[in-house]
Amino acid sequence: MSGLELIQVSVAGHELTSRPREVLGLPRGFVDPELEGWGMANEILDLGRTYLEFLAPAGPSSSLHAFLAQGEGGYVVALRTPDTNALVERASRRGVRLVHRQEFRGADIVQLHPDDLGVTLEADLLPEGRHWHYDTLDVPERPEDAPIRDLIAVDVAVDSPEEKAELWAFLLDASLASASSVQVGSGLVRFVPSAGRTGPAAVDLRASHAAEHVLSGLTVRFIPEGNA
């Protein structure tokens, strides 16, 4: 479980609603209690081995208010990495700023600056045998017949897609899938031109049928098996 892998995209909105789980055909999600200390309410939807997290401010002093002043949208891209120390060293070599680092439930959490990468990037080293942080939580069992079966790609809007793809590939010690996309384990991070705001603009989810929706400013595309 220690390899590079795209695990989660977090989306910030003004409030939490039932619409995401209704659109995705999923039951009520679960809460990561760690976010309360950051002034955020959250609901995490289990997509299979990956997750969509919906965030909203929890009080007037929440740090999310500054982000939401520009509107709702994608907030964080989170992935698992096999070596946080090497990642931080490579980031230092390229002038990418470290925003936050902490030990949490045995994991080493690293967050890098959104102004340098187009989005806050969280890259975490998990203990051997762990898949993600939620392994330590008592979470609802995912229905076997759920129509959504994992996050397979995220589009990140940036000013210079090819430059950002090269930088991410270097930081993550990953391969370019194209001039403007990076292979992150079995997932894909694509960089697209920004029409104003930078950050996660869309996600592709493996699904039982094709569809497209907008949830809290994030375009969500359902991709049937064999259509990726």
> What's the pLDDT tens digit per position in 1-47?
459 999 999 999 999 999 999 999 999 999 998 888 889 999 999 99
Does residue 51 form part of some domain?
Answer: yes
Tens of pLDDT, residue by residue over 101-160, are: 999 889 999 999 999 999 999 999 999 999 999 998 888 888 888 999 999 999 999 999
Does residue 136 form part of some domain?
Answer: no
- Decide which of 102 and 228 is more confident: 102
Does residue 54 form part of some domain?
Answer: yes
Calpha distance 101→122 (Å, rounded): 10
| CATH code assigned at 14 | 3.10.180.10
Does residue 73 form part of some domain?
Answer: yes
Tens of pLDDT, residue by residue over 77-98, are: 999 999 999 999 999 999 999 9
Is 171 buried (19+), middle (13-18) or exposed (0-12) by CB count in 10 A?
A: buried
Calpha distance 76→79 (Å, rounded): 10
Tens of pLDDT, residue by residue over 171-202, are: 999 999 999 999 999 999 999 999 888 999 99
Q: How many other CB atoms sit within 10 Å of the CB of residue 16?
A: 17
Domain range holding 20? 5-129+147-224
Q: How many structural domains are present in the chain? A: 1
Tens of pLDDT, residue by residue over 131-144, are: 999 998 888 888 88
Does residue 140 form part of some domain?
Answer: no
Q: How many other CB atoms sit within 10 Å of the CB of residue 80?
A: 24
